[in-house]
Amino acid sequence: VVGDGVDPVCLVSCLRKKLGHAQIIKVEEVKKPEEEKKDEPKPAVPVPVNPPPCYYPPSYYHHQYQAPH
């Protein structure tokens, strides 16, 4: 039985009147369960990605020469 202000002797007396036999096995303070420290997942670090290179068609220089007359 868990509760605030529960008298174990009174509880056993009431149970003995109704059931005939009851005994106290253990009396202890209720402790709050310790919360396990949860490792928070680290945020994913973005991997730097280089932009794709720009492919331009090769530029050719076209010169026209006129032959001297």
Q: Give the DSSP letter string of 29-49.
A: ---PPPPP---PPPPPPPPP-
Quote the pLDDT of residue 1.
72
Q: Where are the domains of the chain?
A: 1-28
DSSP one-letter code for 4: T
DSSP reduced 3-state for 15? helix
Task: Please give the residue that has the higher pLDDT: either 62 or 37.
Answer: 62
34-49 pLDDT tens trace:
777 777 888 889 999 9
* pLDDT for 22 beyond 80: yes
Q: Looking at the whole model, is its pTM more than 0.85? A: no
As a whole number of Å, the end-to-end CA separation of the chain is 121
Q: Phi and psi of 27, rounded to 5°?
A: -125, 125
